[in-house]
């Protein structure tokens, strides 16, 4: 699996005005049609999988480049513009409750896809969301999920999470080309204005031993795990005592340990233990199979990872998997230098698409002007 990017955006309240959204739909359809007709649906999907190109599209069609609505409104415009237009592209899901309809909408596609392909699409939709919610624990909770696919069964996911404390949103892009693995370093470009090194990144290759031990723990008799969830622990952040997973000395009933705040973990509840039992009965053969089990969520995955680190000494990756600063590298080369080649290519592709779009001269000039402002 190739995950193509992440972008951080401030949360903005309100909705796009009806008149603006109506114009966005028309312009989105024209620009998208120009790209599809010139290069095909494969290239169009790959462009949407690029957070920079997607951001450019949002600017061209008239939305604020730095707003969280860039994602939700632009995806909404794409869905209304492209579905049922015979362009070989369909979009499922969306914002909030609509995101929950993605699987149903994939199931009801008008494309002549085999049952096997449809099931693969549904699996990809579900797993991309689960990985970003549970394996990259970066404090962003998903609230938007758009699944865009073509008649060949290729797809791209554009989804967004919210951090209620910082009031920022983070966008994730997934692309089906060059599929390797859903759970191991799926990123090819991650764009953020900030880094959070308290992020638990279980997609990192540095967490491979953690993943292996997590599977082994589940496949063994899970009754021996219960003792790790019944220990009292004192953290540096607070003098309060809580139950967690650090009992690796069976000869003592209680261990008091001092640990960094990131190790603090809520006690596993009854349902979590039931899900561990379900996973044990399933006997997953690898980490992806473990993560894919319904009911195995962020808390259970985190608990298994911490047991693997604390008890067995496996290395865990506490690092935000960011590669590029929003939107074309880092200002003043922080955290990364600007990718000039990608920068120029993105501008050129979008300009060509706008010039080829079936729109009036005024709309074309305004679109190019907005694009120039974004890249200036």
Lowest mean pLDDT among 107-111, 121-125, 213-217, 340-344: 340-344
- Label residue 193 by pLDDT band (50, 70, 90): low
Domain residue limits at 220: 205-312
d(CA 286, CA 182) in angstroms, rounded, equals: 12
Q: 3-state DSSP call for residue 79?
A: helix
Tell me, yes or no, whether 362 lies in a domain: yes
**Percent of the chain, pLDDT > 90?**
40
Look at residues 51, 50, 77, 52 and name the one whose alpha carbon lies nearest to residue 63: 77
> How many structural domains comprise the chain?
2
Burial class (CB within 10 angstroms; exposed 0-12, middle 13-18, buried 19+) of 229: buried
Closest CA to 219 of 277, 291, 272, 280: 280
- Any residues with CB less than 8 A from the CB of 97 and at least 6 apart, and which? none
Is the backbone peptide bond immediately before 335 cis, with ω within 30 degrees of 0?
yes
User: How high is the pLDDT of residue 249?
Assistant: 44
Q: Is residue 132 part of a domain?
A: yes
Does residue 62 lie within any of the structural domains? yes
pTM of the model: 0.81
> pLDDT grade, residue 371 (50/70/90)?
low
Alpha carbon of residue 335 to chain centroid: 21
* Weakest mean pLDDT among 18-27, 149-158, 344-353: 344-353
* Residue of 371 and 278 predicted with greater confidence: 278
pLDDT given at position 260:
43
Q: Do 308 and 195 share a domain, yes or no?
A: no
- 224 vs 366, more confident: 224
Q: Which two tokens stand for residue 10?
A: 């401030």
Contact 249, 183 (CB under 8 A): no
**43 shares a domain with 134:** yes
Segment 218-246 shows an average pLDDT of 59
Taking Cα atoms as reference points, which of 314, 313, 332, 335 lies closest to residue 324? 335
According to the model, what pLDDT value does residue 368 have?
A: 63
Same domain, 224 and 368: no
């Amino acid at each position: 699996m190739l995950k193509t990017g992440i972008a951080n955006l401030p949360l903005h309240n309100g909705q796009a005005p009806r008149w603006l959204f109506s114009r966005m739909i028309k312009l989105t359809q024209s620009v998208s049609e120009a790209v599809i007709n010139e290069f095909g649906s494969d290239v169009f999907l790959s462009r949407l999988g690029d957070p920079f190109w997607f951001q450019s599209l949002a600017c061209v069609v008239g939305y604020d480049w730095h707003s969280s609505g860039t994602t939700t409104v632009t995806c909404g415009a794409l869905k209304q513009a492209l579905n049922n237009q015979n362009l070989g592209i369909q979009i499922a899901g969306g914002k909030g409750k609509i995101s929950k309809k993605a699987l149903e909408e994939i199931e009801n596609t008008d494309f002549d896809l085999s049952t096997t392909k449809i099931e693969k699409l549904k699996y990809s939709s579900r797993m991309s969301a689960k990985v970003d919610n549970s394996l990259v624990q970066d404090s962003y909770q998903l609230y938007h999920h758009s699944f865009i696919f073509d008649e060949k069964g290729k797809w791209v996911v554009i989804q967004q999470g919210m951090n209620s404390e910082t009031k920022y949103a983070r966008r994730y892009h997934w692309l089906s080309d060059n599929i390797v693995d859903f759970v191991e370093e799926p990123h090819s470009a991650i764009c953020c204005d900030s880094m959070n090194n308290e992020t638990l990144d279980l997609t990192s290759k540095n967490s491979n031993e953690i993943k292996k031990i997590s599977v082994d723990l589940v496949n063994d008799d899970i009754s021996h795990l219960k003792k790790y969830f019944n220990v009292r622990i004192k953290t540096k952040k607070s003098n309060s005592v809580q139950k967690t997973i650090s009992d690796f000395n069976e000869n003592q009933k209680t261990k008091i340990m001092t640990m960094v705040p990131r190790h603090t973990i809520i006690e596993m509840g009854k349902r979590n233990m039931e899900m561990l039992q379900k996973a044990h009965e399933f006997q997953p053969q690898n980490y992806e199979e473990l993560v894919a089990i319904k009911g195995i969520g962020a808390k259970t995955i985190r608990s298994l990872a911490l047991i693997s680190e604390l008890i067995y000494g496996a290395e865990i990756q506490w690092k935000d998997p960011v590669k590029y600063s929003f939107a074309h590298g880092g200002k003043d080369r922080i955290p990364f230098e600007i990718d000039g080649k990608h920068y120029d290519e993105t501008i050129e592709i979008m300009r060509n698409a706008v010039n080829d779009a079936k729109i009036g001269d005024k709309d074309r000039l305004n679109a190019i002007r907005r694009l120039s402002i974004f890249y200036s």
